[in-house]
Amino acid sequence: MSRSPIRLALTAALIAGVALMVPAQAAPVSEEATWTEQWIESGDGTPLHADVMLPASRKDDQKHPVILSIGPYFGSGSQGTVWDPQEAGPSARFDDLIEQGQIFEKGYALVYVDSRGYGSSGGCNDLGGPGEQMDTKAAIEWAAKQPWSNGKVGMWGKSYDAWTQVMALAQQPKGLAATVIQSPLIDGYRLAFENGVHWAATWYITPGLYANYD
């Protein structure tokens, strides 16, 4: 029995979409840091999940400059698929920054925030829309007001979490002191519709792969 070209193409796209996602283990918390999970309320009430890492050597009343990143890559420390076991711990996405930059030894706090609709955050992602834009503002202003923060927040990221920095700059949140924007997504429409064709493999599957399920 022959299969239709459309069915074969969709099957290949699904397989390719899954294969492109490489499982990543949860990162062990650096010996130089302590890790806690916190919740941030966005402007419309959507709860945003955050991994907060503070220097292990800090004193109780010490305040730190904050490095913050918000994006879809941080959920439960895994960048793998929904079939991978979920492990406790912060994402390993920016371990190079932690290790080579020695940020905890230098007194920085590090905050990873799950974009709405991803990881352990609530809501539905609207791809750079009003919801995600207000989330960047809420996350930065929350970090700037924490008792362990000195009120200055710098953002770090690449690709999607570089794009959220562009959103943040447009919102002009209180406390945003610097951004390091690396290879940001610029045109959301072209990402979803390359040459007018919807990317079934990378667009429909990707949100599900990043999602956490009970």
Tokens (6 digits) for 4: 């239709």
Cβ atoms of 141 and 174 within 8 Å: the answer is: yes
pLDDT given for residue 113 in this prediction:
96
Q: Output the domain CATH number for residue 109.
A: 3.40.50.1820
pLDDT given for residue 168 in this prediction:
97
pLDDT averages per 10-residue partition of the chain, 214 residues: 49 41 49 93 97 94 97 67 60 89 96 93 89 97 98 96 95 98 81 67 48 39
How many structural domains compose the chain? 1
The parent domain of residue 48 ranges over: 5-210
pLDDT given for residue 211 in this prediction:
43
H/E stretch holding 93 reads none
Cβ atoms of 149 and 140 within 8 Å: the answer is: no
Tokens (6 digits) for 114: 């799950």
Give the whole-angstrom CA distance, residue 132 versus residue 138. 10
How do beta strands 47-55 and 33-41 pair?
antiparallel
pLDDT given for residue 91 in this prediction:
87
Strand arrangement, sheet containing 33-41: 33-41, 47-55, 109-114, 64-71, 149-158, 176-182
